[in-house]
């Protein structure tokens, strides 16, 4: 089971540019240089820090709570015998709580943390400055991820990291499995949700097989430091910076989708700048037809699209523009979805694909 891939997919439902750190690997730091496998999101460290970077941190107190749709979470009071001590308060625990996750099927995930902060690279343009870029090319060459054309996609720099005070990642390796943590009411509550208080637990229990990563990683202890749980990554295509890299990109493309049921004819013009000059295309689509414009170079800028719904008396016009598409289109793709039944209302929407 590729846990980090599944974890990343779950994260991207709400944080589209992030990779997951399923195993809570502590080497994730802003400015760390290495390469990411696009298949699973695993980061391989090459150098601990790129030179000349300014790292900033913002407090981001929040509760991180993700789970697969078929995970059931329950919480109940339990009596403890007083033999265990709450590591934060030093008091014996007699009244405790148990939080339990029931996983209906193999591959299901539960992830809960108290987010403390996010560190981030203050200025991404530093990565494209000649001296830094050459240094990065040299590091990429060491791991066969550079050529005469520059740096290969997948090699780059971690640009932001979300840190948690404490929490857990649990994944089910069997159908109908479960996992639970037990401890003091305050300790378990802080473990799963607090941005500043250090959470703890007395014991864990599981039925069947689960893949688990807890922080703190030992019972009846407090976390020694915050732990990275997710990160963003900048890569390159040659010398071209890809600010938020989440997959290999061959080129940019736009789908103009005149949805089935749309009865309007639409006239479309597309313009963009490239280092070799301006590019222009124009075409018409009748109702229900779509067209993909692909092979737009990754270094294209100032992409504009004009969509005109042709009416008898008046035409409806819609305009779209993306000054820096490589930084704005995470997947390298965009969809303009067009609807309308003549002579009624029209609509053209910009959708991320």
Residue with the two structure tokens 């607090």: 194
> What average pLDDT score do residues 107-115 get?
97
Is a pLDDT exceeding 90 seen at residue 352?
no
Is a pLDDT exceeding 90 seen at residue 81?
no
Per-residue pLDDT tens over the stretch 142-179: 999 999 999 999 999 999 999 999 999 999 999 999 99
Looking from the CA of 27 toward its CB, the CA atoms found within 13 Å total 14
Query: Percentage of the chain surpassing pLDDT 70?
Result: 99
pLDDT value of position 220: 92
By three-state DSSP, how is residue 237 classified? strand
Is a pLDDT exceeding 70 seen at residue 312?
no
Is a pLDDT exceeding 80 seen at residue 221?
yes
Provide CB contacts within 8 A for 89, sequence distance 6+: 184, 186
| Burial 154-188, CB ≥16 within 10 A → b, else e | bbbbbbbbbbbbbbbbbbbeeeebbbbbbbbebbb
CA separation for the pair 35, 170 (Å, rounded): 25
* 166 DSSP β-pair partners: 114
pLDDT value of position 60: 83
Provide CB contacts within 8 A for 52, sequence distance 6+: 126, 129, 131, 132
* 268 DSSP β-pair partners: 283, 307
Provide CB contacts within 8 A for 106, sequence distance 6+: 1, 172, 173, 174, 175, 177
Torsion of CA 253, 230, 54, 122, to 10 degrees: 50
> What average pLDDT score do residues 324-342 get?
94
> What average pLDDT score do residues 216-239 get?
96
By three-state DSSP, how is residue 147 classified? strand
CB 258 within 8 A of CB 287: yes
Is a pLDDT exceeding 90 seen at residue 29?
yes
Going by the DSSP 8-state scheme, the letter that residue 173 receives in this structure is: S
pLDDT band at 287 (very low <50, low <70, confident <90, very high): confident
User: Is the CATH number of domain 252-352 3.40.50.1220?
Assistant: no
DSSP string, 260-315: TT----EEEEEEEEETTEEEEEEEEE-TT-EEEEEEE-TT-EEEEEEEEE--SS--
- Domain map of the chain by residue range? 3-242, 252-352
């Amino acid at each position: 089971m590729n846990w980090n891939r599944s974890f990343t997919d779950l994260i991207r439902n709400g944080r589209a540019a992030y990779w997951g750190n399923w195993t809570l690997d502590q080497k994730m730091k802003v400015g760390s240089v290495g390469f990411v496998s696009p298949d699973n999101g695993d980061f391989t460290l090459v150098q601990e820090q790129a030179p000349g970077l300014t790292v900033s941190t913002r407090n981001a107190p929040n509760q991180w709570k993700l789970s697969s749709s078929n995970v059931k979470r329950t919480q109940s009071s339990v009596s403890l015998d007083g033999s265990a001590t709450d590591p934060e308060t030093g008091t014996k625990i007699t009244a405790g709580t148990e939080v339990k996750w029931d996983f209906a099927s193999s591959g299901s995930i539960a992830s809960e943390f108290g987010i403390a902060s996010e560190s981030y690279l203050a200025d991404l343009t530093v990565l494209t400055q000649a001296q830094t870029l050459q240094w990065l090319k040299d590091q990429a060459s060491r791991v066969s991820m550079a050529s005469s054309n520059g740096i290969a996609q997948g090699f780059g720099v971690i640009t932001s990291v979300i840190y948690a005070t404490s929490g857990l990642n649990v994944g089910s390796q069997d159908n109908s499995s479960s996992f639970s943590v037990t401890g003091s009411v305050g300790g378990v509550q802080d473990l799963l949700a607090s941005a500043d208080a250090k959470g703890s637990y007395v014991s864990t229990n599981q039925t069947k097989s689960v893949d688990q990563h807890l922080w703190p990683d030992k019972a009846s202890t407090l976390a020694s430091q915050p732990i990275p749980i997710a990160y963003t990554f900048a890569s390159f295509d040659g010398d071209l910076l890809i600010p938020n890299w989440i997959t290999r990109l061959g080129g940019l493309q736009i789908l103009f989708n005149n949805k089935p049921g749309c009865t309007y004819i639409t006239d479309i013009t597309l313009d963009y700048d490239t280092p070799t000059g301006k590019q222009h295309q124009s075409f018409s689509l009748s109702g229900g037809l779509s067209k993909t414009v692909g092979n737009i170079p990754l270094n294209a800028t100032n992409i504009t699209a004009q969509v005109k719904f042709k009416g008898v008396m008046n035409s409806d016009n819609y305009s779209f523009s993306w000054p820096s598409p490589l930084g704005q289109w995470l997947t390298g793709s965009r969809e303009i979805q067009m609807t309308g039944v003549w002579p009624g209302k029209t609509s053209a929407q910009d959708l991320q694909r």
